[in-house]
Structure 1
Amino acid sequence: MPEKKRVLFVINSLAGGGAERVLTTLLAGSAAWAERYDLHLALLDDDPRAYGVPDWVRVTQLDARHGLKASLTQLRAAVGRIDPAVSLSFLTRANVANAFAMAGRRRPWLISERVNTSAHLGRGAGALAARAMVRLSYPRARHVIAVSDGVADDLVANFGVRRDRVSAIANPVDHDTILARAGEAAGFVPAGPYVVAVGRLMPNKNFAMLLDAYARAAIPARLVILGEGPERAALEAQAARLGIADRVDMPGFVANPFAILARAEMFALPSNAEGFPNGLVEAMACGLPVVATNCASGPSEILANRARSAVTGPMDVPAGALVPTDDAAAFGAALQAVFAEPRRRAAGAAARTRSQDYGVAQATARYWARIEAALVPRGRPVPAPSGEMILRSGVSR
């Protein structure tokens, strides 16, 4: 029997996060492909693992300590040992390291972009180097898998990726697991009805705006924000200034968020930018109506099945409401409108129905179709970027 071809997946770590959950969900759904291929996973950072992987995946643990240079050199050495026929990476630093590690090997490599790249990298001197690195490496991938059409459009318009080398595959949502875990006892129980938001406590998630909106809305429900991050102290101080600290709960990272989501009245997504908001679809799978910002990229595609520009008004969404970014007045008004019955019940039912379009089987099959297409020889592979330029970039995530 001929030796199986090796397929290498690469990600920064399996610490808690949306990309990490997506990758492990895809691996768990890949039993059929594990019979045909030898599956490997390289983790750049030796962080505590929030998610497990199936027994059929061989894990190579590196220790780059969140550094780009160490990520490049350690992954390059690991690729030399594993000798994959194809590789697929998730997250910007892993994508850049993948490009460097596969340079000169005449093997195809793919990347998966999880965020709206322009919004994620931001502006400033450090961002300029990171943007240059993305422009140098991403167009050379055999294929770029974007997490939404908005992310794909941004890569084509601003980072030189050819339209025929990029496609959008929505994140998978494991409805069976979500429903099973939703029925478990909640690790945190708020003192009354509540609206829930989920995400890392960082500026781009804009929980500061959510606090302002919640204070304006004055709805008969608490606000629960699940997640941890550098903005915690500032958000707690803001809640105190607004006089809502006694109605806001911030329990941090929760191992089973679904038990909390399933018992909520509504879900809030106040982000300035997203790639594909996993928490949004997971909340919808729990039957929650949604108030979200119409940010780039993802919410309009998920909630309204259309581009951002095609959403004509806040309530032009069966599953809830979409409002402009960073507009506390509009977000607060939408919280009031969607919370009121019968809108809340109808929007929750529409959200659950829409979430069924994001199944594990569909997403896994589409990812593997791209991987297997890359394994088919099609002429000389495009050259990978030089190590010197990579080392000048400021890519950390």
Structure 2
Amino acid sequence: MKKQRFVFLIGSLKKGGAERNLSRVASALSARGHAVHLILFEKKIEYPLDAGVQIIDLALSQYKNKLVKLFMIYWRVTSTVWSIRPRYALSFTRLGGQFLASTLYPRVITRYDAYPFFFKKRKWITSMIMFNLPNVRKVICPSSELRRHVRKYYVRKSKLHLLYNPVPDVASSTLDTPVATSRPYFVVVGRLHPQKRIEVILEAFAGSVARASYDVMILGDGYDEARLRKRAEELGLQDRVIFKGFLADPYPMMRHARALLSASSKEGFPNVLVESLFLEVPVLAADCLTGPSEIIVDGVNGYLFPVGDAATLRKQIDLLVTDEALYQTLRQQAKGSVAKFDQDLILNQWMEVLA
């Protein structure tokens, strides 16, 4: 692909799956010599970017009135995109995609960052209408399950492209950093938000045989922390559940875990499951929409359980601590099971879509 200009739009690069994936794709394009412009509503950057990426800060916090802010977003995004005239203008979030579609710039790429039908009907219908506009050339789906569910709402179905989220290059991570823990542990990684259903994990762990000799490390922060701490105390787990907060580099802690636990009620594509398997750590995950069923294969790299089913999760936790032969098999098969999510492979697929 000859050298091109690309524009990316997102609210900020705060911690989050869409933000992390955008930073990887934008950096890959910049590293290959393309001119990459990143429009931010707020200049908050928590993921690494290639030095060549040009930041355009809209500084929207200065506008207090909601209608004024919406107008300024539309006007400034539209004028910026049309002045740069990129090969493609891309957004990795639903709202960002709608703003880009509304500019009527003729080459827009949008992406689903979450399963759309969990939103209120008005919101997902709005996004379907906007993403069907002819100037939206391509719509990226992070899982085949999501693509299958939205397909019937598109007039031109060929604009839907499946692109998984890439496994990060963890070679630069300090994987050998010692982890100071007195007991072996399971790990939970993610925002402390009701969507993550972490209380299901606490309830399962409370009744498991693992409780006697294992801890649960929770890596992440969020407004649900107080409620989860209270629930842990109610279950008598205050000395077994450790809230570590957000870690900029969670991989050393993940790498030494017995397994990663995930109980989410919904996902766009759960990156952390792939990252855990890449680190040879088995996964026990809720079979929610969308993504886990495309990552986890029962008895190969972990197990799935029905959303909200603490009893089944408890049995799976017990299995992983009582059957050492099975556990070692899961570990040995984990990394190979996520080869299709390799970062270089996915980024090359992005280059093909953007050509």
- TM-score of the superposition, structure 2-length normalised? 0.90
1:148 equivalent to 2:143? Answer: yes
Displacement of 1:189: 3.4
Structure 2: distance between partners of 1:56 and 1:27: 10
Structure 2: distance between partners of 1:83 and 1:31: 17
Change (3 A) 1:61 1:288: same
After TM superposition, the structure 1 stretch with the greater mean CA deviation from structure 2, 235-244 or 51-60, is 51-60
Structure 2: distance between partners of 1:192 and 1:29: 40
Structure 1 moving runs of 4+ over 4 Å: 65-68
**SS where residue 56 of structure 2 aligns?**
strand
Could you say which residue in structure 2 is the equivalent of 1:378? none
Could you say which residue in structure 1 is the equivalent of 2:239? 246
Structure 1: distance between partners of 2:73 and 2:132: 20
Q: Deviations over 1:272-331 (max 9, x none)?
A: 111111111111111101101111111111123xxxxxxxxxxx3410111111111111
- In structure 1, stretches of 5+ residues that fail to align are 122-126, 305-315, 373-397
1:290 equivalent to 2:283? Answer: yes
CA contact (8 A) 1:272 1:325 kept: yes
Could you say which residue in structure 1 is the equivalent of 2:97? 95
Q: Deviations over 1:142-201 (max 9, x none)?
A: 1111001011122224x4464322121111113xx3144142536x73331110011111
Aligned length: 343
1:171 equivalent to 2:165? Answer: yes
Could you say which residue in structure 2 is the equivalent of 1:215? 206
Matches within 5 A, 1:308-387: 316-340=298-322, 341-372=324-355
Could you say which residue in structure 2 is the equivalent of 1:255? 248
CA contact (8 A) 2:30 2:53 kept: no
1:40 equivalent to 2:40? Answer: no
Could you say which residue in structure 1 is the equivalent of 2:80? 78
Could you say which residue in structure 1 is the equivalent of 2:116? 117
Displacement of 1:336: 1.1
Structure 1: distance between partners of 2:17 and 2:37: 20
CA contact (8 A) 1:118 1:154 kept: no
Structure 1: distance between partners of 2:55 and 2:155: 30
Could you say which residue in structure 1 is the equivalent of 2:229? 236
Output the amino acid matched with 2:93.
L
**SS where residue 13 of structure 2 aligns?**
coil
Structure 2: distance between partners of 1:108 and 1:18: 24
Output the amino acid matched with 2:347.
T
Output the amino acid matched with 2:58.
L
Structure number with greater CO (CA < 8 Å, separation at least 6) is 1
Change (3 A) 1:90 1:350: same
Among 196, 201, 206, the alignment partner of 1:205 is 196
Displacement of 1:33: 4.0
**SS where residue 136 of structure 1 aligns?**
helix
Among 158, 177, 195, the alignment partner of 1:185 is 177
CA contact (8 A) 1:189 1:260 kept: no
Structure 2: distance between partners of 1:162 and 1:232: 43
Could you say which residue in structure 2 is the equivalent of 1:390? none
Displacement of 1:355: 2.3
- TM-score of the superposition, structure 1-length normalised? 0.81
Change (3 A) 1:221 1:128: same
Change (3 A) 1:361 1:191: same
Q: Deviations over 1:218-239 (max 9, x none)?
A: 3021001111111111101100
Change (3 A) 1:40 1:287: same
Displacement of 1:4: 5.4
Could you say which residue in structure 2 is the equivalent of 1:137? 130
CA contact (8 A) 2:112 2:139 kept: yes
CA root-mean-square deviation: 2.1
**SS where residue 342 of structure 1 aligns?**
helix
**SS where residue 239 of structure 2 aligns?**
helix
Output the amino acid matched with 1:59.
I
Change (3 A) 1:221 1:72: farther
1:64 equivalent to 2:60? Answer: yes
Could you say which residue in structure 2 is the equivalent of 1:375? none
